[in-house]
C-alpha cells in the first residue's frame, strides 16, 4: 500500500472488499478459525485504512468504502463468527467516520445481501467436530442452508453482483457530506429498517456527549 501511495502520490477512493465467511454451528468453530476471519474482515481493513488515512487527511479529501454485510447489523444463526467480524467493522467505521469528517474524508459502509460470489466457498468446516455430534439433527442445518443459498444465487432471479459495483460508483459520485453512512444492496431482510431506526439514535450521541460542534455536525 505504501508503494502504491509513493507511485500515485494520493488515493482518492479506497474500497475494502476482502472477506471470508464460515457457515456452521457457531460453537463448533475454534478460536483460531474465528481469529482467521477477523484478521481478514476486520484487522485487514484497519491496516489498509491506517495506511491511507494520513494522505487523505492531508489532502482534505477522500472516500473510504468498507464492505460490510446485512449480518453486520443483525445476527442470524449459523453465521456467528462471520457476523462478529462485520459487527466489529461496523462499529469501527461508524466511530472513525465521525473523527475524520472534519478533515474532509468520508467513511461509509455498503451492506450487501447474498450474491453469487465466491464467498460461500471461502469457508471452512468447524474444527470442533465432536461438538457437532452433540447437536444432533441441527448440525446438518447449516449445510442444507448453504446448498439452498447456492441454488438460489445461481437462479435466473438471483441478485446481480453488479448492483454492489453500482452502489460503489454512486457513492463515489456523490459530494462529501451527502453520502449516507450505510447503503444496503440487494436482499435487505429488514436491514434498511434497522438502519433507519438506529442511525438517528446513534447520531444523537454527538449532542448528548457535547461533541457536535467539535466534529462539525457530521452528516448521516
| Residues with a known catalytic role | 82
* Cα(136)–Cα(129) distance, integer angstroms: 12
For 99, the grid coordinates are 473523527
* Cα(108)–Cα(35) distance, integer angstroms: 24
The pairs formed by 134-141 with CB atoms below 8 angstroms and a separation of 24 or more are: 135/25, 135/28, 138/25, 139/25, 139/28, 141/78
Q: To which H or E segment does residue 109 belong?
A: strand 105-112
Partners of 108 in the beta sheet? 65
Partners of 107 in the beta sheet? 64
* Cα(100)–Cα(61) distance, integer angstroms: 10
* Cα(36)–Cα(38) distance, integer angstroms: 5
- Taking the chain, what is the end-to-end CA distance rounded to the nearest angstrom? 29
Amino acid at each position: 500500500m505504501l508503494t502504491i501511495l509513493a507511485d500515485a502520490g494520493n488515493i482518492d477512493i479506497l474500497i475494502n472488499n476482502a472477506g471470508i465467511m464460515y457457515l456452521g454451528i457457531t460453537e463448533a468453530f475454534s478460536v483460531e478459525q474465528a481469529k482467521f476471519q477477523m484478521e481478514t474482515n476486520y484487522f485487514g481493513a484497519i491496516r489498509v485504512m491506517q495506511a491511507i488515512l494520513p494522505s487523505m487527511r492531508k489532502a482534505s479529501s477522500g472516500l473510504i468504502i468498507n464492505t460490510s454485510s446485512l449480518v453486520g447489523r443483525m445476527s442470524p444463526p449459523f453465521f456467528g463468527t462471520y457476523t462478529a467480524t462485520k459487527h466489529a467493522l461496523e462499529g469501527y467505521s461508524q466511530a472513525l467516520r465521525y473523527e475524520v469528517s472534519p478533515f474532509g474524508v468520508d467513511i461509509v459502509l455498503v451492506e450487501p445481501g447474498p450474491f453469487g460470489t465466491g464467498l460461500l466457498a471461502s469457508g471452512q468446516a468447524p474444527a470442533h467436530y465432536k461438538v457437532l455430534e452433540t447437536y444432533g439433527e441441527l448440525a446438518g442445518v447449516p449445510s442444507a442452508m448453504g446448498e439452498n443459498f447456492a441454488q438460489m444465487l445461481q437462479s435466473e432471479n438471483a441478485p446481480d453482483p453488479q448492483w454492489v459495483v453500482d452502489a460503489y460508483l454512486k457513492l463515489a459520485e456523490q459530494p462529501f457530506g451527502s453520502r449516507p453512512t450505510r447503503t444496503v444492496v440487494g436482499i435487505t431482510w429488514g436491514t434498511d429498517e434497522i438502519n433507519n431506526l438506529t442511525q438517528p439514535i446513534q447520531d444523537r450521541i454527538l449532542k448528548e456527549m457535547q461533541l457536535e460542534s467539535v466534529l462539525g455536525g457530521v452528516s448521516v
